[in-house]
Structure 1
Amino acid sequence: MSSSDERLEVIHHEGWSPDIKQVYVPAIRVHGGRTVYISGITAAPPYHDHPHVPEQFAAVPTGIEGQVDRLFRHLDLALEAAGCRRQDIVRMDRFFTHVAEDQDVVNAHQGAWLGGHVPTSTSVEVVRLATDPGLRLEIAVIAVAPE
C-alpha cells in the first residue's frame, strides 16, 4: 500500500515478515472512499453478445502470456471508468483453468502491473470459464475510489 494513501490500511498478523514475497496481504482496512465492484474480466472483449458468438473471441490469444496482458488492459479500462487506480484495488479473486502452469506467469505480470501494491486475493482452479473454453484466467476486483 502506498504510505501516502491513508484510505487503505494493510493489516498483518503474527507470522508476517517483509522478506516473504507474496502477491496478496491478509487484510485491508478501508478508511473512506466509494466501493467499486468490477465483474470478472478475461482476455475476451469486455463487451460481447449473449448468447456468445464464437467469432467475437477469435482474436483472443491462446497462451497465458497474451491472455494476462490483455486481461490487465481490460481491467485498466474498467478501473479508469470507475475513477480508480490500480492502487485502489483491495481485493482480487482469480479463477484459473490451469493453475499449476499459469500461476507464476500471472503472479509476475500482476506484480509488475500493480507496481508494488498488494491487494487481498483468492485464487482457485476451475474446470472452465463461462465466456469461452479457450480462456485460462478470469479476475474479479473490488476497489475503493477516492471520495
Structure 2
Amino acid sequence: MSSIPGPRRVGSAEIIHHEGYDETIVSPFVPAIRAVSGARLVFVSGVTGAPVYHDHPHRPEVFDSMPLDIAGQVANAFDHLDLALRAAGAERSDVVNLIRFFTDVDADQDTVNRHQAEWFGGHIPTSSSVQVVRLATDPRLRLEIQAIAAVAGE
C-alpha cells in the first residue's frame, strides 16, 4: 500500500484520496473530488440508450429503434452524455460525479465499466451504482447515467 497522495488537480477539480488508498487497485471511481474556487457546476439529467428527446407520456414505438443489448445502450448513453456536456461547455474530464442505475448489475456492470474507462481515457470521477427494478423511460432499458461536472469559471 502506498502513502496517501496529496490532492491532484484535474481541470477545475482536485482528486482526493484518503487512508487505505492503494494505487495498484483498479477501480472505476475515486472516493472524493473537490471543485476548486470559481468552478461552475453542470448537472446532467439521466441519459440512457433511448432518444434524449421523446414525448411524455411515453410512446413505446419511439423506443423500438434503441439497442436492447448493454453494449449498445451504454454506447448510446455516453454519446448522449457527450452531447449534454458539450452543450454546457464541459468536457469529459470535467465530470466529477456519476450515478449509474442498473436493472441488472451482475449482467451489465463489467461491460459498462469497460466502456466508461475507455470513454474517460484515464479520468476517474466519483460514482455510485444502484440496481433498480426498472427505469422509467422504457422497460427495455438496462442503464441510466446521471452526471455532475465542474467547469473552470470564466
TM-score, normalising length from structure 1? Answer: 0.96
Q: For the residues of structure 1 that align with 2:11 and 2:74, how far apart are their CA atoms? A: 30
Q: Give unmatched runs, 5+ long, in structure 2.
A: 1-7
Q: In percent, how many aligned pairs have the same letter?
A: 57
Shift of 1:5: 3.7
Secondary structure of the residue aligned to 1:105 is helix
Q: Give unmatched runs, 5+ long, in structure 1.
A: none
Q: For the residues of structure 1 that align with 2:41 and 2:13, how far apart are their CA atoms? A: 12
Structural mapping, 1:1-147, within 5 Å? 5=10, 7-31=12-36, 32-147=38-153
Amino acid across the alignment from 1:17: D
Contact between 1:82 and 1:145, CA under 8 Å: does it hold in 2?
Answer: no
Amino acid across the alignment from 2:50: A
Number of matched pairs: 145
Q: For the residues of structure 1 that align with 2:98 and 2:122, how far apart are their CA atoms? A: 15
Shift of 1:7: 2.2
Q: 1:6 to 1:131 in 2, by over 3 A?
A: closer
2:4 equivalent in structure 1 = none
Shift of 1:146: 2.0
- Structure 1 moving runs of 4+ over 3 Å: 3-6
